[in-house]
Every structure is written in C-alpha cells, then in structure tokens.
Amino acid sequence: MNKQKLELTWIGKENRPRLEPRILLEDPEKSYHAPHRVTDHDLFDNRLIFGDNLLALKALEQEFTGKIKCIFVAPPYNTGAAFDRYDDGLEHSIRLSLIRARLEILWKLLREDGAIWITIDDTECHYLKVFCDEIFGRCNFVSSIAWEKDQGRRGDTDISSAHDHILLYSRNRDVWSNTRNLLPRTTDVVAKKDAAVKSCELATNQNLKNSSKPWQFALIAHDMIAENMTLAGLARRFAALG
C-alpha cells in the first residue's frame, strides 16, 4: 500500500518541467552602479534580471542555494484580469504547476535563518496555504498576516474586501525565531498601552452593569487597546450601542 499524505491535488501534478542549468549574461546598457565604493562594506552585486522568472531562478540556483535571508513574492492573484506581460486568469491546474516549480527553487535558495513572504488575496490564499505546507513543511509556517490594501468601502459588491494576505514561512522556525530584529519597547509605547488598559477597565466597570448587551463591551475593550482609543472615544462607542 502506498503511503498516504495530506496534499493538494490537481490535473497534471505529476508533470514537471525539465530545466537545464542556465547562466546570466550581463547587458552593459542596462547595468549601473555607483562609480566607486564609499565604504569597504558596499555591495556591488545587486542584480535586476530581465526574462522569464523560472529560468532566472534556475540561473541563480547554483550560486545562491542556501544563501538568501529574505524572499518576497507577489505571484499573480489569478483574478481573471489581463495584463501586458502575463495572464492573470490561468486555469487553476496550470497555475498551480507553474507556481510549484518556482516555489521549490525559492525554497532551496533560503538559508537556515531565512524566510519567504508571499502576498495573495482571498481568491487563492487558502489553496496556496495548503500548497505551501506541502512544499515548505507545515512546521515551518509562521503566520498569515492581513495587510490593508484599501481604506475605502465599496457599495457595488456584496462584501467589500479591504485587505490581502501575506503567508510567512521560515526555512527553520527555531533558528529564525532567535534571529529576528525585535524592536525595543520604548517607555512611551509602554505608557500609552498602560493608559489605554486603565481607561478601558474604568469605562467597562462603569457601564457594564447598565448595558443590555454586555458581551459587546469585551469587543469594544479589545478595539480600544488596539487603536489606542481615548476615554472619550470609548464613550462614543458605548453611546452607539443604545
């Protein structure tokens, strides 16, 4: 009996592109860097690559395997839109095969303390999560981060989505967790947080017993802390409850 596993399947999954090793050729007309080094630590090896991204990754594989600390990827969202340089409405099976080939090489490029960040919207996010778990290992998943892409609200749709997702995976979760650049907690930040919590507790104690909807106060308390809301702002929230 074949060993079974949890995976995302699609038509043509067993078919993989056969790629030969590639090399990059510099185009002097497109090359530019500072005329001289300012410090001994200046890097003159940044590269902007023109061409098919799969072939470009294949060309980078030999030199950079296990050396890259951070990768950010913005794949086509597969929304059905047409762009000048690529089709954003591929059949789902074709799209998955194309993305797999690229993600597998990107994963090889990461060093032990490296991480890959992939931005995507609701259309493909949940398929991509299962897909990445299979390629990168579920144990290396760090978080799904929501980022606000639009502060406006649309009235011409059933649900107005204002955010996209960033899927974050680390090459080695234990190593990556100990090498992050943590920001120090300043006195000002701590003071604001403490003041918000105290104001929230005061307002909640004063109003909870008089409300016909006590469960909503817990939600408002959370909002107040997250938004550094003032006591006056909290009062306006309470008034809106009726």
Residue 94 sits at φ, ψ, to 5 deg, of: -65, -45
Q: Is the pLDDT of residue 113 over 90?
A: yes
Residue with tokens 């809106």: 240
Structure tokens at 217: 């106060």
Predicted confidence at residue 81, as pLDDT, reads 58
pLDDT of residue 205: 62
Is the pLDDT score of 239 beyond 70? no
Q: Rounded to whole angstroms, how far apart are CA atoms 145 and 166? A: 5
Q: Residue 226 pLDDT > 60, yes or no?
A: no
Encode pLDDT of 4-24 as tens digits.
Answer: 777 888 888 888 878 888 888
Q: Among residues 232, 231, 235, which one has the least CA distance to residue 196? A: 231
Contact 132, 6 (CB under 8 A): no
**Overall average pLDDT of the 119-148 stretch:** 90
DSSP 8-state class, residue 131: H
pLDDT at 135: 92
Supply 37's token pair.
């080094």
β-pair type (110-120, 68-73) = parallel
Q: What is the distance between the alpha carbons of residues 132 and 146, in angstroms, rounded to a whole number?
A: 17
Q: Taking a C-beta distance cutoff of 8 angstroms, is the pair 168, 125 a contact?
A: no
Residue 132 pLDDT greater than 70, yes or no = yes
Q: Give pLDDT, residue 31.
A: 79
- Backbone torsions φ then ψ of 234, nearest 5 degrees: -65, -40
pLDDT above 50: residue 154: yes
DSSP string, 200-234: HHHHHHHHGGG-S-THHHHHHHHHHHHHT--HHHH
Sequence-distant (≥ 6) Cβ neighbours of residue 147 within 8 angstroms: 119, 163, 164, 165, 166
pLDDT value for 86: 55
For residues 228-233, give the mean pLDDT.
51
pLDDT at 225 over 50: no
Q: How far apart are CA 44 and CA 49, in angstroms?
A: 15
| pLDDT 10s digits, 51-97 | 888 899 999 998 999 999 999 998 877 665 555 555 555 677 777 88
Residue 219: which pLDDT band, with cuts at 50, 70 and 90? very low
Q: Hey, which of 38-52, 104-118, 123-137, 212-226 has the most confident mean pLDDT?
A: 104-118
